Structure 1
Amino acid sequence: MSRLCRFAIASDLHIALPHTIDLTKPRFHLVEASVPALEAMLAHLEQLDLDCLFIPGDLTQDGERDNHHWLIEQLQKVSFPVYVIPGNHDVVKPTGNDAVIGLDEFAALYQPFGYDDPQQLWYSREIAPGVQLVGLNSNQFDATGWQLGCLDQPQWEWLRENLPQWRDRFVIVMIHHNIVEHIPQQSTHPLGRRYMLDDAAPLRHYLNEQGVRLVLTGHLHIQDVAEADGITEILTGSLVGYPHPYRVLELHDDGIHKRLKMKSYRLRSLPGWEDLPAASRQRTQENSFPFMSRFVSLPPLNLKGDEMIATAHQLQSFWADMAEGDRTFSFPQFPPHVRSMLEAFSATHPIDNNATLRF
């Protein structure tokens, strides 16, 4: 069995220098730890003989110009190639201003990290012999400036022109929004669908037609591996959110199949956060009630009043448990319809963190 390449994935860095952080805003993730978290992860990755690092979006907290420039400076010091794409937090406006960058600036700013055309927000690179990376942009804006999650027509045309020529290679697609569901009814649930690409199904079908089998995403801040329409999607949780994961993967060719060996790591301690998982999990629990109360009040549960409040309080650990991946849920204290819906979030196979996938 020959090794084709070894790469890392770190997603949703949400880099925020201290002067850019609004500490009054409640968050699930520890954005205050974003700078030391990145430094600690990169220090570890430098020891691992990597071919490259993939970062599938949300590089910064909210597109702040200072945060982008700081991150670019750090990534330029790394000894291996780094490939990035924009997330919805990186480009909060079509055009920038003194405080934030615009979508129209992203490719030029990140030209050293995959972009050969400073005017084009998608690209492709042969990252190893026979292994092709396709980096896509899932951030668009409508005429009113509202941010969307979809591919634009020029990007679709580029894919149709170029993917057929890479059929003899192992193609890895990187995109911020999910194109495979990672939670039950994600594409239709009011809270879940905003993490899905609007044109997820057409993209899955086209990639499958062209022999693409692997997609890397972020955005949802959980560790999960899911499959649909012949596409396996590896979703990597946020580096600044519990449980602070990142991945290292080795792609092998055994002469018949490609095998992808995946190992996940977690940050355990940072300066000021000696027990990082405990502090982070507590943050998630403390800020979970508004999210969980909305979650259980929406279809299909439609809980109201005291039942909604009591259920949401009992679910304060639910999202942190989801973010870990490979979790099995049991809620015997809830009525049958609530119990069955929540237990459907259980992992069916333990492949979210460490596994060998075959293609």
Structure 2
Amino acid sequence: MAQVQIAVVSDVHVMDPSLLKEDGKAFTEYISQDRKMLRESTSLLSAFTDSILNSSVKYLLIPGDLTKDGELVSHRYLIDNCLSRLRNAGITVLVIPGNHDVNNPHAVAYDGARKTRVATVSRSEFAQMYKDYGYGNAIARDTASLSYVYQLTPTLRVLALDATESDQNDFSKDICVTPGRLRPATLLFIKEQLANAKKQGITVIGMMHHGLLQHWKYQNKMIPGYVIDNNLSIASMMYKAGLRVMLTGHSHAQDITQYKGIYDVETGSLVSYPSPYRLITLQGDKMKITTHHINTIKGYSGNISFKDYSKSYETRGFNTFLQKVIPTQMPDSVRTKAIDFLSDMMIKNYAGDEKITDAEEAQRIQIANMIRKSYSFKWSIIFRRVSKAIGNDTAPADNDFSIDIK
């Protein structure tokens, strides 16, 4: 196999500026419950696009969550301001939908204290919009989902998988379904396509929005919906059929994990600290992965670096999220320490290659003991196990790593 250079960026979550008709209560309330830098999404997208145009990359893979919430105008913004620029420069771009991108009742515009629904896209409209970015030139299409196969080079294919359940979204109840699954018909499609590639001696790499594997112990129990249903049996099937690597997103964290020889390479979000993207070099049987970041954007004029700004933004978001998770019956002083510690661990997890220092380990044990004495033995155990799982990464390395893909 000749050397192939691929970029991977995930969870772009671009928000078209027209959706913020007037900044005010409605958008402020939304942002307070969200950890994405939506106001900066277009600037981050521009900086990323420029970085790829100035590189030697020939292919870009985007494993879903292209838009804030599937707004038609946001899809068009992404295509007009990023994808078409790359395509015109000779770069092949492949996309798949994430759980935010299709048939989404949360597609809204904000006008001061009000929000109003705007046009989203159907599954067929999504495929049509992105016909130049995978769907129009796919060598195979799944009839049960928006999955497809793309011949990247004569000896390399991309198995682009749609595990979303946008057909289950409910506009009357304002519900957008987050979890993912691969339907029985899609699993048959996967088996057929991997068998076909194996017969021809063609290497396949996978791309899917949801995780194929857990990225930290207890992930499925604590925050279900980030890994596909029946993931281990599906991972085993894929490995036996010849697949070695699945590129994923969804969790907004940098992590690489493996199960019996198949790797899940998860890429963080462009609109979440530390705004990472990956560069992958394929040469022979080796896949070399390196991580890069968007460290500054045009128009930013804060008193601290953009990197520090994004980190503090993320920390505030995690604190808000954990306020809902940690029991309010826990004493305030202990609860605050637990929330602050878990926020720090999540920030580390987002950056990847996270390790708990000796001082943090002592603090972790101290907080667990405080919870046990003042509130609950059960929650002491939960805190102890989850904080260690999130904050203490296991092999392999998350940001820079090499994988044997044969």
Using the alignment, how far apart are the partners of 1:122 and 1:142 within structure 2?
15
Q: 2:184 matched to 1:150?
A: no
Residue 283 of structure 1 corresponds to 313
The residue type paired with residue 4 of structure 2 is: C
| Number of equivalent positions | 347
CA shift digits 1:238-297 (9 cap, x unpaired): 0111000001110111xxxx1111111111111233522111111112222232244445
Residue 127 of structure 1 corresponds to 152
Residue 214 of structure 1 corresponds to 245
The residue type paired with residue 206 of structure 2 is: V
Q: 2:24 matched to 1:13?
A: no
On the 8 A contact 2:103/2:166 being kept in 1, the answer is: no
CA shift digits 1:35-91 (9 cap, x unpaired): 111111111111222220000000000001100011112312212000000001111
Aligned partner of 2:29 among 15, 24, 29: 24
Residue 99 of structure 2 corresponds to 88
The residue type paired with residue 288 of structure 1 is: F
* Uncovered stretches (5+) of structure 1, i.e. residues with no partner: none
Using the alignment, how far apart are the partners of 2:211 and 2:341 within structure 1?
28
Aligned partner of 1:304 among 282, 307, 330: 330
Q: Secondary structure at the match of 2:216?
A: coil
Using the alignment, how far apart are the partners of 1:60 and 1:9 within structure 2?
16
Residue 267 of structure 1 corresponds to 294
Q: 2:111 matched to 1:99?
A: no
Q: 2:197 matched to 1:177?
A: no
1:202 CA drift (Å):
2.9
Q: Secondary structure at the match of 1:188?
A: helix
Residue 355 of structure 1 corresponds to 401
On the 8 A contact 1:273/1:279 being kept in 2, the answer is: no
The residue type paired with residue 60 of structure 1 is: T
Residue 76 of structure 1 corresponds to 84
1:303 CA drift (Å):
8.2
Using the alignment, how far apart are the partners of 2:329 and 2:95 within structure 1?
41
More displaced 10-residue stretch of structure 1: 116-125 or 169-178: 116-125
Q: Secondary structure at the match of 2:135?
A: coil
Using the alignment, how far apart are the partners of 1:266 and 1:143 within structure 2?
35
1:319 CA drift (Å):
1.9
Using the alignment, how far apart are the partners of 1:127 and 1:323 within structure 2?
30
On the 8 A contact 2:9/2:63 being kept in 1, the answer is: yes
* Uncovered stretches (5+) of structure 2, i.e. residues with no partner: 21-26, 108-116, 370-380
1:29 CA drift (Å):
1.9
Residue 35 of structure 1 corresponds to 42
Q: 2:63 matched to 1:56?
A: yes
On the 8 A contact 1:267/1:276 being kept in 2, the answer is: no
Using the alignment, how far apart are the partners of 1:235 and 1:316 within structure 2?
20
Residue 388 of structure 2 corresponds to 343
Aligned partner of 1:322 among 341, 349, 368: 349
The residue type paired with residue 28 of structure 1 is: R
Residues 350, 206 of structure 1: CA spacing in aligned structure 2 closer, same or farther, 3 A cutoff? closer
Q: Secondary structure at the match of 1:287?
A: helix
The residue type paired with residue 16 of structure 1 is: M
Using the alignment, how far apart are the partners of 2:18 and 2:77 within structure 1?
13
On the 8 A contact 1:63/1:90 being kept in 2, the answer is: yes
Q: 2:193 matched to 1:162?
A: yes
The residue type paired with residue 252 of structure 1 is: Q
Q: What RMSD in Å do the two structures reach over aligned CA positions? A: 2.4
The residue type paired with residue 332 of structure 1 is: A
Using the alignment, how far apart are the partners of 2:315 and 2:237 within structure 1?
40
On the 8 A contact 2:103/2:167 being kept in 1, the answer is: no
Using the alignment, how far apart are the partners of 1:321 and 1:303 within structure 2?
27
Report % sequence identity: 27
1:236 CA drift (Å):
0.3
Residue 261 of structure 2 corresponds to 230
Using the alignment, how far apart are the partners of 1:311 and 1:5 within structure 2?
45
Q: Secondary structure at the match of 2:343?
A: coil
1:227 CA drift (Å):
0.5
CA shift digits 1:193-237 (9 cap, x unpaired): 211112322321210110100000000000000001321011000
On the 8 A contact 1:140/1:152 being kept in 2, the answer is: no
On the 8 A contact 1:331/1:339 being kept in 2, the answer is: no
Q: Secondary structure at the match of 1:195?
A: coil
1:24 CA drift (Å):
2.9
TM-score of the pair, normalised by structure 2: 0.79
Paired residues for 1:238-257 under 5 Å? 238-253=269-284
Residues 93, 33 of structure 1: CA spacing in aligned structure 2 closer, same or farther, 3 A cutoff? closer
1:111 CA drift (Å):
1.0
TM-score of the pair, normalised by structure 1: 0.89
Aligned partner of 2:74 among 67, 70, 95: 67
Residues 39, 241 of structure 1: CA spacing in aligned structure 2 closer, same or farther, 3 A cutoff? same
Task: Give the greater-gyration-radius structure (CA).
Answer: 2
1:136 CA drift (Å):
0.9
The residue type paired with residue 61 of structure 2 is: F
Using the alignment, how far apart are the partners of 1:335 and 1:140 within structure 2?
38
1:23 CA drift (Å):
3.6
Q: Secondary structure at the match of 2:219?
A: coil
Q: Secondary structure at the match of 1:13?
A: coil
